[in-house]
């Protein structure tokens, strides 16, 4: 990646603690991550898992009023994921890039106005723990 003034870009594994330790508190968390695709329904689920991790990182690292942008493949878990994003942000919109093929399940969620790290992450942890 080419450097951009005022932007910290970190490229690495979302599950690697060393990568996570590099992440500063941020105004924006952007995840364009996607699984290696095979053309079957597992692609959507793998995308969902990556998106869940991206949201977890956003809830831990975003400044209040910050923004979160994430790519996800629409599938059976999409509506629940979108509902979870809406719990933590004032404005949420889904958009499909014009360059994306019509049959593609790829969509981006743009969320702005993060409501706050503490309440957001605690709510999210309860969801993951099944409380």
Give me the residue spans of the domains in the chain. Answer: 23-129
User: Model-level pTM?
Assistant: 0.82
Cα(124)–Cα(129) distance, rounded to whole angstroms? 9
- From 36, 46, 63, 71, active-site residue: 71
| Mean pLDDT (whole number) for 29-47 | 84
Q: Is 87 known to be catalytic?
A: no
**Is the pLDDT assigned to residue 97 strictly greater than 70?**
yes
User: pLDDT at residue 131 above 50?
Assistant: no
Looking at residue 15, its pLDDT comes to 83
Structure confidence at residue 6 as a pLDDT band (50, 70, 90):
confident
Task: Answer yes or no: CATH 3.40.50.150 is held by domain 23-129.
Answer: yes
Q: What contacts 116, CB < 8 A, 6 or more positions away? A: 64
Instruction: Tell me the pLDDT band of 33, cut-offs 50, 70 and 90.
Output: confident
């Amino acid at each position: 990646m080419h450097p951009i003034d005022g932007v910290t870009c970190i490229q690495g594994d979302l599950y690697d603690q060393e990568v996570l330790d590099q992440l500063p508190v941020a105004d924006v968390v952007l995840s364009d991550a996607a699984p290696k695709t095979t053309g079957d329904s597992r692609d959507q689920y793998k995308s969902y898992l990556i998106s869940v991790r991206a949201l977890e990182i956003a809830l831990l690292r975003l400044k209040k009023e910050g923004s979160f942008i994430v790519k996800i493949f629409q599938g059976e878990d999409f509506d629940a994921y979108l509902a979870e994003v809406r719990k933590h942000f004032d404005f949420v919109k889904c958009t499909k890039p014009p360059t994306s093929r019509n049959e593609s399940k790829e969509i981006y969620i743009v969320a702005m106005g993060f409501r706050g790290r503490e309440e957001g992450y605690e709510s999210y942890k309860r969801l993951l723990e099944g409380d």
